[in-house]
């Protein structure tokens, strides 16, 4: 069974540009989560989808971040325009059930904003 | 608020036993996870504790005391490949379920 995949693995962009990250969850997992880890800090929750609906987006830093999950399969996280402080590793995770079910993580996308 | 503390770094010798502690303060607790993360890779699930006590899984065991807000991950018969970061994460149930992570403990295993 394929795990959670993320694309790209690395992205280097300039301040002010737009970047779109993609996450493909484990097949059949309705719950999809985005997290971010900035240098030296802990992994922090960004938002949670149940199928195509946003269940909780309390961790989204500001309105430059837009997450979508059309059709309830893969998800995208767009940053527009990117700022220096957006640099970090963006992780996606999925789980079959939402309530205390184990989340399986992807390898992350390392974003560097110059 | 939520706060999770774990040591930043630990070192141990191959074949030895190491205990990584995690303390947490959170207003809504649904369980505690331990993940292992090698550099540049995905965090991988190690254990989940929701009730007090010890959960054993091969060389790895995890303990939870909810009244003390305390957990530990015990690694036995250490191998070089156990060198990684170990992440403690609490299921926070304030409204919606989400994982709150500690900063991770970087474990270095030496021959």
Average pLDDT over residues A23-45: 93
Nearest to B16 by CA among B57, B73, B72, B75: B75
Nearest to A101 by CA among B23, B73, B16, B33: B33
Q: What is the pLDDT of residue B49?
A: 94
Residues B44-96 have pLDDT tens digits of: 999 999 999 999 989 999 999 999 999 999 999 999 999 999 999 998 776 56
Cβ within 8 Å, pair A107-B40: yes
Residues 52-81 of B with CB under 8 A from A: none
State both tokens at B25: 């303060």
Asked if the bond preceding A8 is cis, omega within 30° of 0, the reply is yes
Residue B20: in which H helix or E strand, if any? strand B18-25
Residues A45-66 have pLDDT tens digits of: 999 999 999 988 989 999 999 9
Which chain A residues are within 8 Å of B87, Cβ to Cβ?
Answer: 43
Q: Please tell me the distance in Å from B84's CA to the nearest CA on chain A.
A: 15
Residue B101 makes CB contacts below 8 A (sequence gap 6+) with: A35, A42, A43, A44, B4, B87, B88, B89
Cβ within 8 Å, pair B43-A100: no
Residues in chain B, overall count: 111
- How far apart CA B53 and CA B65 sit, in angstroms, is 7
Q: What is the pLDDT of residue A98?
A: 67
Percent of chain A's residues with pLDDT above 90: 83
Q: Please tell me the distance in Å from B59's CA to the nearest CA on chain A.
A: 20
Residue B75 makes CB contacts below 8 A (sequence gap 6+) with: B12, B17, B18, B19, B20, B59, B60, B82, B107
Residues A65-95 have pLDDT tens digits of: 999 998 889 999 999 999 999 999 999 999 9
Q: What is the band of A39 on the pLDDT scale with cuts at 50, 70, 90?
A: confident
- How far apart CA A72 and CA A84 sit, in angstroms, is 31
């Amino acid at each position: 069974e394929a795990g959670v995949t993320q694309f790209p693995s690395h992205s280097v962009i300039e301040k002010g540009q737009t970047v779109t990250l993609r996450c493909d969850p484990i097949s059949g997992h309705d719950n999809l989560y985005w997290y971010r880890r900035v240098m030296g800090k802990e992994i922090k929750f960004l938002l949670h989808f149940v199928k195509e609906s946003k269940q909780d987006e309390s961790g989204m830093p500001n309105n430059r971040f837009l997450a979508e999950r059309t059709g309830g399969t893969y998800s995208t996280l767009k940053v527009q325009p990117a700022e220096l402080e957006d640099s970090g590793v963006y992780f996606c995770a999925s789980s079959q059930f939402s309530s205390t079910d184990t989340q399986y993580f992807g390898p992350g996308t390392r974003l560097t904003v110059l | 608020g939520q706060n999770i503390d774990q040591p930043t770094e630990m070192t141990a010798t191959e074949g030895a036993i190491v205990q990584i502690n995690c303390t947490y303060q959170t207003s809504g607790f649904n369980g505690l996870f331990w993940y292992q993360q090698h550099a540049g890779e995905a965090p991988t699930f190690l254990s989940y504790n929701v009730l007090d006590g010890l959960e054993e899984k091969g060389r790895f065991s995890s303990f939870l005391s909810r009244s003390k807000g305390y957990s530990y991950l015990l690694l036995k018969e250490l191998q070089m490949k156990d060198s990684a970061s170990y992440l403690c994460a609490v299921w926070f149930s304030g409204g919606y379920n989400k994982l709150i992570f500690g900063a991770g403990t970087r474990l270095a295993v030496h021959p």
